[in-house]
Amino acid sequence: MSTDPLVLMTEVDRATERLIATAAGFDDADVAAPSALPGWTRGHVLAHVARNADGMRNLLIWARTGVVTPQYQPGQREADIAAHADRPAAEQLADLRASAAAYAEAADALTPQQWSTILDVPGRPQAAAFGVWRRLREVEVHHVDLAAGYSTDDWAGWFGHRLLHEVVSGLDGTTPLVLTPTDAGHPLQVGAGGPVVSGSACALAAWLTGRSTGAGLTVTPDGPLPTPPVWM
């Protein structure tokens, strides 16, 4: 689970290539079909991923130039997704490619010192380097949301572990749980007490992020899976 932005950029490139390969197989009807996200078509998902690349590129420009460049202007994210969701498949694909290439070019332009720049983003300040993980997370999770054959079973184990730890760190403990990755790592406590839910890190992360029903996870003591906390 490297935190080196250059190592993670390689993973971003690979994940993006996989997403683009999926999108390249879509025709206009496929793009207009429902995604796995309620109320969103695949076009909404593709538009969101492309605009996310633009937003993450803005943060890299901020780190390189020192000029405050927010990821999104107020209301821009939702407006852009709505405006771009209904485009034909060829336009969606071209936009995915162009936005990803522009993001990669901005990443290549940063020096090691600039990657360490602390950006005063909403929520909590963070180093520019952390944005690479955020981009990878967006591409991998939303690839699953396309409901086009790529699933959480295709996530790398290290990705599942990092996502699981990130999700758990942000939970408020109102749904007590003990999460036990069976493939490596140690139990993760959420709140105080609660049932033990076991499975691979990817399966646990998929369940907590709402990308699976939790089928295949085990609960101790025996019983139904608890309702997972809301993620993001």
> pLDDT of the chain along its 232 residues, tens only?
456 888 899 999 999 999 999 999 999 999 999 999 999 999 999 999 999 999 999 999 999 999 999 998 888 888 999 999 999 999 999 999 999 999 999 999 999 999 999 999 887 899 999 999 999 999 999 999 999 999 999 999 999 999 999 999 988 878 899 999 999 778 999 988 899 999 999 999 999 999 999 999 999 999 899 888 777 6
Q: Is 151 exposed, middle or buried (0-12, 13-18, 19+ CB in 10 A)?
A: middle
Spatial CA neighbour of 228 closest among 220, 212, 216 = 212
Spatial CA neighbour of 226 closest among 197, 188, 190 = 197
CATH of 5-150, one of 1.20.120.450, 3.40.50.2300, 1.10.1740.110, 1.10.2020.10: 1.20.120.450
Which part of the chain has CATH 3.30.1050.20? 157-220
Which part of the chain has CATH 1.20.120.450? 5-150
What does pTM read for this prediction?
0.94
CA angle 202, 21, 84 (to 5 degrees): 95
Helix (H) or strand (E) holding 145: helix 130-145
Residue 232 pLDDT: 66
Distance, first Cα to last Cα, the chain? 22
Residue 214 pLDDT: 94
CA angle 136, 141, 144 (to 5 degrees): 130
**CA–CA separation, 168 vs 144, rounded Å?**
20
Class of domain 157-220: alpha beta
